[in-house]
Amino acid sequence: MEKPEISQVSVTYNQEGNSMGTTSNPETIAVHLEFQLGEKDGCFVVIKTKGWSIDCPSDIIELIDRTKKILDVKNPKHEKAKK
């Protein structure tokens, strides 16, 4: 029997409303790692948000990296691109 594989992992992050004072509603962002081709082929990243705001694009990259570290996920496609 084959070992079960992970198909999806999700992490939801929360933060207070934006610092501009235009909203006090909490902001959420969910980062989903979807293993549609199996664990060995890496994952697709799907992001869903409700009001999340950022100062720079690297903030999103940091959240994706934090999520991947939870599982120590390595994406072979990205490893090849680094070489």
Task: Answer for the pair 42, 54: CB distance below 8 angstroms, yes or no.
Answer: no
- Give the rounded distance of the alpha carbon of 41 from its chain centre: 17
Is the pTM of the predicted complex or chain greater than 0.75?
no
| Domain ranges for the chain | 8-82
- Asked if pLDDT for residue 78 goes beyond 70, the answer is no
pLDDT tens, 9-49?
A: 899 999 887 666 666 788 899 999 998 877 778 889 999 99
How far is 5 from 7, CA to CA, in rounded Å? Answer: 6
CB atoms within 10 A of CB 26: 12
